[in-house]
Structure 1
C-alpha cells in the first residue's frame, strides 16, 4: 500500500543518479581535458627536443659533407690536367655534381685574388687570408679539414642595399626550399687550397671556394611538431631565423634574453631539452623550443658550439585540443542521456545478476549446470561474488581431482606392494628352501664324503648370503623411506672401490661366458663417499648387468667431466647428456666430476619403463614368474645412496634388446671427511652442501 511521502524506486534512482552523475561527468570532462592537454604538451616537448637533435645532426653532417666535397674537389686531378681556359667548364661541371645546397662555387688566384672561374659572377664570395696555406705542398701530404678556411656570410651583407626589402616576421611566411629562404639565412663560405705541379714541386696556385646557406626549416605549419629552425652561436649571435632582420643580432637585444641565455648555458653543458619562450616573438605569442648543441662548423676553436633550436608556437603544438574539446562535449551529452536510459533498466539489471548466480549455485551439481559461472557483470560486487563462487567451485573440483589422483596412486602403490610381497616371498622362499634342503642332506648323512658335505654346506652358505642381501635391501629401503638412512663419508679412491666390486662379480661374469671390457689403468680419483655404500651401488649395477646379459659383453669406463653452472657436462658422447648430477657443490661455477659408465649388451629396457625402475618395488617385469628374478629394490636404493653423497645415477637404453648403460657420477676433490646421520635425507644433503 502506497503511503504519503514515499516515492517510486525508479524516480528516486533517477534523481540520485542525475544529481551524482552530472557533476561527476563535468569534473571528469575537465580532468580529461587537462590530462589530454598535458599529454599533448609533453609530446610536443619531446618531439621538439628530438627535432632539435635531428636538425643539429643535419647541420653537422651538412658541414662535414661540404668540407669533404671541397677537399675532394680541390685535389681533383682535372685541375692539374686542364688548361686554365677550361677552368670555367670544370667549375660548372663540378657545381652540377655537388649537393643542391651549394649556392656558389669559385676558383680564385691566390696571388692576385682574381676570380678565375665562378658559377655566381665575378664578385669574390670570400676574402682569402694571407699566408693561411703553405706556398709549397709537401710530398705525400693530403689535405684535411684543418686545411679548409671557413667564414660566415651574413644575408644583409650579401643583399647590400637590397636589405631594406621587407621581410615578414612570421615563420610561416618562408618556404624552406625557396631561394628567398636560403638568402635570408647565414651562409657558410669554405675555401680549400689548390696546388699545381711546377717542376718537381707542388705550389699553391688557386683557392677553391664554395658558399652554402644553412639547411634550416623556416616554417612551422599548424599541427607540426618539427618546428622552425633558429641557430645561435656560443656568443649569442643569431645565425638563422625566419625573420632576416633578426639574423646577426645578439640575444641580449631580445625581450626573452634571460631564457635564451639559459638555453645557451644548458646546451653548452651538453643538455638536450626544451624551454618555453614568452617574448621571443614580437606579438607576444608563447613559443615552445627544443634545443641541442653541435661543434661550431665555422671555427676551429675548442669547445666552440652552435645551439640549434626547434621552435613552434604553443597553440600550434596543442592544435589537437580543439578536436578533443568537441569529442568531450559530445561525450558528456551522450553520457547524460545514457544515464537516464540506464536508470530505467537498472531495477531489472540489479536483480538479474543475483538470479543468474542463484540459478548456477542451485544447479552446479546437476547435469543442467552451465559450463562456467556467470560473470562480466557491470557491478563490481556482483563480479566479486561471481569470482568467489567460481573460486570455491574450482577448489572443490580441484580437491575432487586430487582425491581421485591420490586414490589411484594409493591403488597403484597397493598393487606394487602386493606384487612386491609376491616377489619377495618367492625370493625369500627360494634360498630358504635351498638352505633347508642342503642342511637336511648333511644332517641325515646322505653325503658320500667330506668334500660333498662341504659342497652342500657352501651352497647353504651362499643361499643364506643371498637371503641376507635381500633382507639388507629391505632394511635399507625401509630406512630410506623412514629417513633414518646414514652414511660414513671419507676420502676414497673411486677406482679402487670399482675394482673391488668388479672382483666380487668376476666369477659370475666368467661363469656366464661374458666378455668384460675394463678401463685402462687410471690415476687415483679421490672422492668423498661411503666406500661400502658406493661398492653396494657398483655391485647392484654390475649384478643387473650380469643378470640381464645372456651373451655379449660388459664394458666399464671411467672419465672426468667438467660441470658448469647450467648443470651440464662439457663432454661428448651420447651418454654425456644423461649424466646430469642432481645437486651442486657450494657456489663453484665449475668443478670436476668422475663418471663411471657400466654398459652391457643385454635385454635392454623399454624407454617408457626406464624412469619407473628407480622407484621402490618396481621392475621392468613385475610378475613372480619372470625369468631373471630380483626384488626391484637395487636401483631405488642406489639412487638414494648417490643422492645422499651429492652424486647421481642415470640409466639409458635405446630399447628392448639394445643393451643398457648406467652412469654413476660423483664430484671429485672434496676437502673433508665426516660422518652424518639425520632423520631427513633432504636435511642431510643440505647439511653437506652448507659444510662444503
Structure 2
C-alpha cells in the first residue's frame, strides 16, 4: 500500500510539473501576442503566483523524497551490517570448531557466543518483519488483559541477560501503592515495544548503563512507564523525529551506534494501536533521555472508547 501511494504521489507531482511548464509557456505566448492591458496584467499575476506555488510545492516534495531515499539507504546499510555481522561470527566459530581440537570449556564458550549471535540475528529479522506488519494494517485481534508490571519486569530480565548486565544496571522501581497495572492489548506487541525501549537505553549508554524504570498511574485512567538513561541524550528538535521510520539522529556519535532506525517507529505504532502515546525528552547531549509510554488502564472509558490513531503511511 505504501509503494502504491508513493507511486501515485510521484505521478501527481510529475503531472504537476508538466502542467506548470505548460502554463509558463502559455503565459509567455499570451503576453507576447497581446497588448499589455490591466486585465492581462492581473491574469498574469495570478498565473505567476500559481506557478510559484506549484514550484515551491514540487521542490518540497522532491526534498522529502531525497531525504526519504537517504533514510532508506541508511536502513539498508544498517540491516545488511546487522545481518552479516552475526552470520560471519557464527561461521567463524563453526570453522574453528571443525578445524581445531578444543577443550570442553572453550567449546561451551563458543556455543554461548553462537547462541548470542543467533539471538541478535533473529531479533533483527523479527524487527524488520514486524515493521512490515505494522505498516500494512492495525492488529486488533487476540487482545487480552495484561499485567504491565509483570511484563516490564520480564523485559528488564531479558535485557539484562541479553546484554550481560548486572542487576543494578537496569532498575525497576516498585509501583507506588503496590497496585497492579492492567492494560488491554496484545502481549507480544507490548513486549516488543518495551524491549526496544530498553535495548535503546542500553545501546545509547556507551559510557556505562544506568537505566531506571518506573510505573505509575496518571489521572486514574492511564498506566505510565518511564525509562530514563544517563546516555548520550538527544540534540534539540529531535524528540519527535526519532519515532519516524528509518530515522537516525545525525551526528558522528549517533551514527557510530549501529541500528536499523525501526525500533522507535515500532514502539510508536504499537502504542498507538493500543490507544496510548509515547514521548521522548532529553536535557541535551550527554545528559540522558527519558521515554514516557502511556497506555489506558483496562476497564476505563479511555480504553474502551478511545479511537485508534492511524499509522504513518510513509
Give the TM interval when normalised to the shorter protein: 0.7 to 0.9
TM-score of the aligned structures, taking structure 2 as reference length: 0.76
CA distance in 1, matches of 2:67, 2:124: 23
Match of 1:554 in 2: 211
1:361, CA displacement in angstroms? 4.3
2:222 partner SS: strand
1:649, CA displacement in angstroms? 0.9
Structure with bigger RCO (C-alpha 8 Å, 6+ apart): 2
Residue 646 (1) aligns with residue 280 (2): no
Residue 410 (1) aligns with residue 65 (2): yes
Residue 616 (1) aligns with residue 229 (2): no
1:611, CA displacement in angstroms? 2.2
1:449, CA displacement in angstroms? 2.6
Structure 2 counterparts to residues 291-330 of structure 1, below 5 A: none
CA distance in 2, matches of 1:407, 1:365: 31
Residue 463 (1) aligns with residue 91 (2): no
Cα–Cα, structure 1 residues 424 and 400, in superposed 2: closer, same or farther, change >3 Å?
Answer: same
Cα–Cα, structure 1 residues 483 and 523, in superposed 2: closer, same or farther, change >3 Å?
Answer: same
Match of 2:143 in 1: 489
1:670 partner SS: coil
Cα–Cα, structure 1 residues 556 and 394, in superposed 2: closer, same or farther, change >3 Å?
Answer: same
Match of 1:532 in 2: 188
CA distance in 2, matches of 1:499, 1:387: 69
Contact 1:528 1:668 in 2 (8 A): yes
1:364, CA displacement in angstroms? 9.4
1:363, CA displacement in angstroms? 8.2
Match of 1:480 in 2: 134
1:607 partner SS: coil
Q: Which runs of 5+ in 1 are unaligned?
A: 1-359, 375-381, 563-590, 673-679, 684-692
Cα–Cα, structure 1 residues 447 and 455, in superposed 2: closer, same or farther, change >3 Å?
Answer: farther
Match of 2:51 in 1: 396
Structure 2 counterparts to residues 217-236 of structure 1, below 5 A: none
CA distance in 2, matches of 1:622, 1:530: 36
2:165 partner SS: helix
CA distance in 2, matches of 1:599, 1:364: 65
CA distance in 2, matches of 1:452, 1:514: 29
CA distance in 2, matches of 1:535, 1:622: 30
Contact 1:540 1:638 in 2 (8 A): yes
Cα–Cα, structure 1 residues 363 and 609, in superposed 2: closer, same or farther, change >3 Å?
Answer: farther
Candidates 511, 522, 526, aligned match of 2:165: 511
1:647, CA displacement in angstroms? 0.6
1:608, CA displacement in angstroms? 2.5
Which protein has the bigger helix share?
2
Contact 1:447 1:453 in 2 (8 A): no
Q: Which runs of 5+ in 2 are unaligned?
A: 1-25, 302-307
Contact 1:419 1:622 in 2 (8 A): no
Cα–Cα, structure 1 residues 496 and 489, in superposed 2: closer, same or farther, change >3 Å?
Answer: same
Match of 1:498 in 2: 152
Cα–Cα, structure 1 residues 464 and 608, in superposed 2: closer, same or farther, change >3 Å?
Answer: same
1:67-91: CA deviations, max 9, x gaps? xxxxxxxxxxxxxxxxxxxxxxxxx
CA distance in 2, matches of 1:604, 1:426: 24
1:547, CA displacement in angstroms? 1.6
Aligned residue pairs, count:
274
1:622, CA displacement in angstroms? 7.1
CA distance in 2, matches of 1:530, 1:433: 35
Contact 1:423 1:624 in 2 (8 A): no
1:502-560: CA deviations, max 9, x gaps? 11122357637864332224311111111111111111111111122223621111111
Contact 1:485 1:681 in 2 (8 A): no
TM-score of the aligned structures, taking structure 1 as reference length: 0.36
RMSD of the alignment, in Å?
3.3
1:418 partner SS: helix
CA distance in 2, matches of 1:425, 1:509: 21
Match of 2:102 in 1: 448
Candidates 395, 402, 419, aligned match of 2:74: 419
Cα–Cα, structure 1 residues 488 and 443, in superposed 2: closer, same or farther, change >3 Å?
Answer: farther
Contact 1:648 1:664 in 2 (8 A): yes
CA distance in 1, matches of 2:202, 2:290: 13
CA distance in 2, matches of 1:506, 1:491: 26
Which protein has the bigger strand share?
1
Contact 1:556 1:596 in 2 (8 A): yes
CA distance in 2, matches of 1:625, 1:390: 48
Contact 2:116 2:162 in 1 (8 A): no
Structure 2 counterparts to residues 134-283 of structure 1, below 5 A: none
